[in-house]
Chain A
């Protein structure tokens, strides 16, 4: 069972470069989200989507864009990377925003911005 698949696992960027973190799930979940995890801090919500064509901002959305053209895919775009975006990024999906159901996480994408 694939669950939530994230690519790439590791990426090094230079300041100002752009890139897209990919996320795909095969559980037919309507809700998908992106989090970043920094040392000593809890996971923080970047953007989320409650269905195809619907996205919204989370707690720390600045510098990131998302789109949701299909139920399965939810890519996260960094338009102009900054060192402050060095972090581990997790994609998660759920049946109901994760409030009552379980959040299923991907394996994470470790991003370093030089």
Chain B
């Protein structure tokens, strides 16, 4: 069964600190993996996308990594800011005749001043 699991479910850190969010997936055959940021009351917005051959992708203070062998991805946020408070959703696409997009349930990140 294609699944995407994220951890932790929620996380609270102080402003200026770094953090890492985890995503494990069992989607096969793998096509790509995205991280989305969803502010409260808003729609998800794409941060990064990685294909099988990519193991690191950065977008400003956000750095995503992908290990296709262990089927794990992480999103590292450097020098967190209050505006980073949001849910972060890992999304994996399956490459097949019935291609599918599978969403994780997200990690709720709160940045405290």
Co-complex (A, B): yes
Number of A-B residue pairs, CB cutoff 8 Å, is 49
Q: Give the complex CA separation of A44 and B4 in angstroms.
A: 13
> Which of A43, A97, A100, A108 is close to B103, meaning CB atoms less than 8 Å apart?
A43
Q: Chain A interface residue count: which class?
A: 10 to 19
Q: Give the complex CA separation of A106 and B38 in angstroms.
A: 11
- Max chain B Cβ within 10 angstroms of own Cβ: one of A45, A99, A106: A99
Q: Give the complex CA separation of A40 and B104 in angstroms.
A: 9
Chain B nearest Cβ from A26, distance in angstroms: 15
Return chain B residues, CB-CB under 8 Å to A99: 31-32, 93, 95, 99, 101
Minimal Cβ-Cβ distance residue in A for B3:
A42
Chain B nearest Cβ from A33, distance in angstroms: 9
Chain B: residues with Cβ within 8 Å of the partner, total of: 23
CB of B1 within 8 Å of the partner chain: no
CB of A2 within 8 Å of the partner chain: no
Q: Give the complex CA separation of A100 and B49 in angstroms.
A: 9
B101 touches A105 (CB 8 A): no
With contacts A42-B89, A102-B49 taken as known, whether A108 is within 8 angstroms of B42 at the C-beta atoms is: yes
CB of B18 within 8 Å of the partner chain: no
> Which of A41, A98, A106 is close to B43, meaning CB atoms less than 8 Å apart?
A106
